[in-house]
């Protein structure tokens, strides 16, 4: 079992879970929220060396960052997307 910690103030559990889902072919995950951290316990299906684990941590952390940025961009652009959809459907002949 290996452990990765994420700062609770800077990271959302949903981002970590979305990223973890992408790696379920390699390992399983268990999450625990403490006062300051999201703790992510990782159990690999196959044995991994320390260097392989470090590579995994880098890739996993980058993916968590990616999920967070995707959510922020989605939230910022939602009003514009809704406006475009409303305009598109207002011109549609639905009869």
pLDDT digits (tens, 9 = 90+) for 13-71: 999 999 999 999 999 999 999 999 999 999 999 999 999 999 999 999 999 999 999 99
3-state secondary structure string across the chain: CEEEEEECCCCCHHHHHHHHHHCCCCEEEEEEECCCEEEEEEEECCCCCHHHHHHHHHHHHHHHHHHHHHHHHHHHHHHHHHHHHHHHHHCCCCC
Q: What is the pLDDT of residue 92?
A: 62
Q: Does 95 have pLDDT greater than 70?
A: no
Q: What is the pLDDT of residue 90?
A: 84
75-85 mean pLDDT:
92
pTM for this model (two decimals): 0.84
Closest C-alpha among 2, 6, 3 to residue 62? 6
């Amino acid at each position: 079992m290996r452990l990765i910690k994420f700062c609770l103030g800077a990271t959302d559990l949903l981002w970590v879970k979305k990223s973890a889902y992408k790696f379920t072919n390699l390992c399983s995950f268990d999450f625990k929220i403490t006062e300051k951290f999201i703790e992510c316990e990782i159990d690999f299906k196959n044995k991994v060396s320390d260097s392989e684990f470090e590579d995994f941590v880098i890739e996993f952390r980058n993916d968590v960052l990616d999920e967070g940025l995707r959510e922020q961009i989605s939230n910022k652009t939602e009003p514009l997307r809704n406006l475009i959809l409303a305009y598109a459907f207002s011109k549609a002949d639905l009869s």
